[in-house]
Structure 1
Amino acid sequence: MGFFDNARNVRLQQELATGPIRPSQEWFSQLAGEVPEFGDLTGQIIAVSGRPRELVDHAVLAATIKLEAELWLRRAADAMQGRHPRITWGNIKIVLDRPDYSGRLLSEFLSTGEATGSAINNKLVEYLTGEVVAKLVAQVQAGEMKPSGPTQPPPQQTTSTSTAESFDTPITAAERTPTADTESASQTLDDTPVKAAPSPPTASRSVETPIPVAPQLVPPRANRRWSGLLALLGVVAVAILMAATVRVFSGNDASRSSSNAYVRDKPAATDFTAGDCSSPPSFEAQRFTVEGEQLTATIRVRSLCSDGAILASDSTRVTIQDGSSTVAAGIFDLATSPIAVPPSDTYLDQRFAFPVGTYWRLPDTLSRVSDLAIEVVELGQSSAPKEISASQINSTPRVAIYGAPPIVDAESAAIEGLKAQADADAALVSSAVADRWIPQISSKRVGLVADGLTWTNADILREHMQLRTRFSQAVLTWSGSWSTYSSPDFWVTSVGVAFPDSRSALDWCVANEFDRDHCYAHIISNSRGPQGTSAYLN
């Protein structure tokens, strides 16, 4: 990690520990809800359980809720590692341990992580208000939260004292750019004899270092002995909390989000009850957009059943193919957020969001959307109810909780994604920035050892997507296609902003807080050699 990165992290952690947290207004306004207060959940659990308040240890119950949240957040941060520099377990723990901690404060911080942080916030809210409430209601009803001493009133506010000492060591997201104490990719691209330029690698080449699949975001269970009983009582508890099931697809709901709209020629019924039909729905791609760090696919879902269908598997794999190339593949937990597919005379336009690491192609590299193939497979247990309540249906996109299992070759998909993106950017590079000074912010090749990683194609593509999210004018090139690179086998990320001289390009590096090892000025050209086409910060 370079000097500027260290300084930036120290400043961020100081701000998180004591200063005001400035939320992203854009992302905060789109959250499904704020993280609930642990004390408020304690009161709700006791009320639903029907147990006298004086027979429940409020402090222990609140601490148990906090521990459940911490365990879940740590696993979520691990699964999302590297997708946004702010969203690390170390940073989340700092917020949780603040003397003035509140659920709103945590949500405000998570919103600064854009799509990644917002996805964690929304899943945490679902987890705490659903599974945790149901589980702890059952434990309270079973008498497991009885006070060990004199009874005490409920605390006014749950403090942030840690109940999980094993979490003292922060987990930081892996940095994705070279550092001064590792091999600098930028230093290897000039002042050496030019070699014959190889073609970009093909998907069939062997890969010795496959990218590991991120762990599933499934919160740990505290007591396996009660799993069967908790499941049964949990359903009852959640039913009580919902109060009444409101049927959907009723009346003309003009306020329903168009991004997740039910389209039909006749007024919608107010109820949605799935019938007995074994035919799976059909899926057809409609459009793709890049929203923050994630690729969002709008998919038209049609039921082949007259009564519609409900998709509610806790492990649903969605794979999108462009010919033999994988566009995106991720696992979705639809058990906590089911999808209600309307009857066969209409359709649902549902959005699926793929975070960085679960997609390999951007919209400008795709062929006709109508030609894309979509496969949806329920890998896990489906707990689809016959009837779905309005509180379980929302217009927000379903976000993949982790990458697809090994059935999708991440390396092959990444190679195809890198080649497609470089091809898509080639025209812009040739017409707008060739033979001019531009900032180069990354250069990586397979097998490069830098920043604690032995880089794979999947790692290289992931970093490029993250940089592209940060800098909208970023472009990708294959060094073997241009004569000003001395090493012909690097994937290079540059910012497509042309400057009149090297000093101006280096000033851009400084203005964006890059150091010498992470940014330098370079000329991309096919009319000259490497000599004199690179300039570095002092």
Structure 2
Amino acid sequence: MSQPPPPSGGGQWGWEGSGPSQGHWPTPQTPPTQPPPPQQPPQQGQPQPAQPQFQYAGGQQYPHGGRPHPSGDQPPNRRRPRLIALVAVLVRVLGVGIGWGMTNLLSQDDTTAVAAPSEAPSAPASASAAPAPSQSAGAEDGGPGSAPAEELPDDPSEALTQISETDEEEVVAELDGKWVPQISSKKAGMEIDGKTWTDEDILADHQALRDEHPRVRLVWSGNFGSFKEGDFWITIAGIGYSDAEQALSWCATNGLGPDDCYAKQLNTGGGHEGTTKLQ
């Protein structure tokens, strides 16, 4: 039987440790190593060769032989814009919160200021009409319980004199010749229902009436020609009317009967005739 021809290209067959007839490829010959040519420095004006790009897992390229950042695929400088954006959002949220708080505070301050009622001056009483029943006591002199601005002396007689001197300035200026409701007329030593009145009793009676009714004033009868007797302390409602009927209407409106209230015309001169009218 004939032997098969050797593979194309020639060469000897052989196995390790046997002769050429054992079927091994011959050992290739290694060409001699030549040193790399020396690199020449680049000449001025000549373009630099591009640096190689290195590719890693995921197909991303890193220039200049760079390596991926240990914390991720992005370098650290790419995370800085996100941090800046987060800080900006926090600053804006704080600004909105502070602005909202200041707005509410100012709104409350404004609401409180607007809600406070202004003190409008009371309108003077009409000379031709009786006061309405709903007129509150003290509407013109500070209300019930109001007392003269100055401090009163401890002596009742001196206190009565001080109150009357203060009140008579207003009465003469505004009520001379007008009809007024007279609600008390007393002097020390007089007896009423078995009681002898003193200046202390008269002062207490006047202050009680002053607390209860509007614009109550005290005058000394000796300073007005319209009183028959000149030694009485007279308590009036200091609201002037052009006729007696309007003054009597005030008495009825305030629940004062014929024994407690009647119309009196105040005149600094003249006589007392025709200056009194009862209910």
Query: What TM-score bracket applies, with the shorter chain setting the length?
Result: 0.3 to 0.5
The structure carrying a bigger strand percent of its residues is 1
* Structure (1 or 2) with the larger CA radius of gyration: 2
Q: How high is the TM-score relative to the length of structure 2?
A: 0.47
